[in-house]
Structure formats: C-alpha cells, structure tokens
Homo-oligomer: A and B are copies of this chain.
Amino acid sequence: MSFDPLAGLPDDTARRDALARARLSALSEPGDGVLGALVAALGAEDALEAALSDADDAAAVAGAAADLEATAVVEGRRRWAPRRGETARVLDDAARTGVVLVTPQHPHWPVRIDDLGPHAPLCLWVRGETSAVRADVAVAIVGARAATGYGEHVAGELAASLAPDGVAVVSGAAYGIDGAAHRAALGAGGVTVAFLAGGVDRAYPAGHQDLLRRIVTTGGAVVGEVPCGSAPTKWRFLARNRLIAAASDATVVVEAGWRSGSLNTASHAASIGRPLGAVPGAITSATSAGCHRLLRTHDAVCITGADDVREMLGIGGEPVGVSVAGDGLLVRVLDALSIRSPRGVDDVARRSGLSPQEVQSTLGLLRLEGAVSASDDGWTALPRR
C-alpha cells in the first residue's frame, strides 16, 4: 500500500503519538473522559500502555492524572479490555481508502475542538482536504432530517451567502437541513465539512454517497473520530454532535422537532460557550418547535438571515440601527395639516395641541424635508412620495 495516513505529521515523535491515538480511538467509545484524562497526563503512548495493562497499578496510574480516581481506571480497563483485539490493524482500512489521520500535532488540527477538554476527540479521521477542518471561520448549520421546504430553503440561503465569504459550513451530512447546507456551500464554491458518526470510509446515509464524494473532491472534508469500518450507532451520533459544535465558531439550528438531535448539538455549543442561533418558523409547524424551544429556554439568538449569522460570528458590517419611536412634533403637525386646504399656524396649533411657536418651527423643518408647502393662504401637506 502506498498511501500513508500519517504522512501529514511533522516528525516521527508525532507519528508515534498519532498511532497510539488511533489505537486508543479503536479501544474506546467517543468522549471517554477517563481515557482523555490519561492521555492528557501521560501522553498517548503511555496512556495506551496503561489502558491495556493487566498490572495491579490502578492507584499509581490514577495518581499520575489529577482528578482521576483509582476506581475510574479499574472501570476503564474493564471497558477497554474487550476491544484489545481491534487496535492492531486500525490504520489498514484508512490506508486502503485514502483516509488521513489528524491529531493535535498535525498542522490542521482544529484547535477550537480542544475546548471539549477531556471529552475532546483523540484524533480525527479525514477524507478530503485536511485544511478545511481548520478554517479561520466556521459555522455549524444543522437541523431536522424531516425538514420542510421552508427549512431547506433557509439552510441553503444561509450557507450560500456565508460560504463565499470564506466561512466553512460545518454539518452532519444527514438528509434534510444538513444536506441542504452542504449542497448550498458547494454550489456557492465554498468549503464545507461533514462530521460523520461512523467510519469515514463508508457513506452515511447511503443516499448521500454522491454528496460526500463531492465534498471530498472540492476542497472540503468528511471527518469522523471513530476508525474506518465503525458503525454509526445512536451513541456515536450523540457524541458526533459535540464535534460539530466544537469545530465551529457558532451553531445555527434551522429546523428541529421538539426532540431533534440537533438540540443536542445546540446544547453542546452552549455548554462550551459558543454562540447559538435558531431560525424561527410558524408556531404551527412541528419542525420549528425545537428552534422555538432554543429561543425560549437556551437564550439562542433569533436568526432571520445571513447577516444575523455574520453578527454572531463577529464578521461583516454594523448591525442595522433600530429606533422604534417616532418624532412626536413632526407627526403631530402633519396630522393637523390637510393636503387640500391650506391652514394657518394658529389653526394647526389648536388641531395639534402644540403651541404656535412649536408649530412654526416644526413647519420650517418639514418644509426643508419637502413634506409641506407654504402659500399666502397657509400651510399644506404634500402627498408622500
């Protein structure tokens, strides 16, 4: 085999670390906090050795990692032992299918994702352009699989508007909102990144095989944290959602039912302090109920278009100025004028409840704006242009 999944790493030390991380990723389920703590304390190679050890040294191992109890190590070893046999050939499928391993020492490791702490992924398996995973600005656009035409339209509009600005569009490759976001980013010539719950060597959902291939061949990336060949289980979907949130500067939920998985993504975004947006819809639409739930209980920002997302990302122009109050004097004097009969200042004063002095100065202002005209008979309002 000529393809080397570790080729992007800078040196042999980084490669040894990466191989250990790959093996650890086969040993554990995503987000295993005990393993994350061991890797942080011991480094990946020693953590792998400690994880697989049969020695009676749980207390010593735990002692090396702050905040870890010996019982957690004992429990962890019981979890990891059943998969001991799956670590050996962990790179083979990746090499065969052209999948690259990205680790914290890889130049394209998405540093944002480290905000997950001990629940950060040990490594990322990437098909396509690894630099896409580390875009300067990235937004997650996610939502219901059973989306409506409205939801898919909005997801597409947002992605198509943001992608040309160099914003990477991150999503989960599902049917519905996810697919619409990826497709629109591709259509706009932008970069898009799909995080899968299973191994990146298999297309999931199968109906998105072509979409995933297009992402990979046009500067984007398809990413997972479990080794090639791993099935996309329900648990891994929940775990995958934390990656979408952590790999993005902000998360926008476009449509979501009351118990949609995208609410889980939204929770992750909020829990690591990332801005969270939700697109409203009709309250009679079940597919917007989850978005309204985020607006009500999670303090999500109400997103009405791409400019609102730019504001949330801190890019683009000034927010539109907002002034709800009108200018009372102008309104009251205009109320008191006719467009047919000229009226004198005293008449206008009585009708408007203003003093003749106020009326006089306001009429002057309105005349400058071309809203009124004066004649010998008095003042007349001009029709609105």
Binding site for B on A (CB under 8 A): 28-29, 32, 75-76, 78-83, 150, 153-154, 233-236, 238, 263-264, 266-267, 279-284, 288-289, 292-293, 295-297, 301-305, 308, 322, 324-326, 328, 331-332, 334-336, 346, 349-350, 352-358
10 shortest interchain CB distances as A-B pairs: A78-B355, A280-B280, A29-B353, A82-B350, A233-B335, A295-B302, A235-B332, A283-B304, A79-B355, A267-B324
- A295, A349, A358, most chain B CB atoms within 10 A: A295
Chain B residues with CB below 8 A from A83, complex form: 350, 353
Among B76, B234, B281, the residue within 8 A (CB) of A280 is B281
Assuming A325-B267, A336-B233, A353-B28, is B281 touching A82 (CB within 8 A)? Answer: no
A334 to B235, CA, bound (A): 9
What are 27 of the A-B contact pairs (CB < 8 Å)? A28-B353, A29-B354, A78-B358, A79-B353, A79-B358, A81-B355, A82-B349, A150-B282, A233-B332, A233-B335, A234-B331, A234-B335, A235-B335, A235-B352, A279-B283, A280-B283, A280-B288, A280-B302, A281-B281, A283-B304, A283-B305, A289-B304, A296-B301, A296-B302, A296-B304, A297-B322, A302-B302
From A29, which residue of chain B is reached at the shortest CB distance?
Answer: B353
From A239, which residue of chain B is reached at the shortest CB distance?
Answer: B328
B292 touching A280, Cβ below 8 Å: yes
Chain B residues with CB below 8 A from A356, complex form: 78, 82
Chain B residues with CB below 8 A from A302, complex form: 280, 292, 295-296, 302
Name the distance in Å between A237's Cβ and chain B's nearest Cβ: 9
A267 to B350, CA, bound (A): 29
Name the distance in Å between A9's Cβ and chain B's nearest Cβ: 26
A284 to B28, CA, bound (A): 45
Chain B residues with CB below 8 A from A29, complex form: 332, 352-354
B82 touching A284, Cβ below 8 Å: no
A233 to B352, CA, bound (A): 9
Chain B residues with CB below 8 A from A234, complex form: 331, 334-335
Name the distance in Å between A242's Cβ and chain B's nearest Cβ: 11
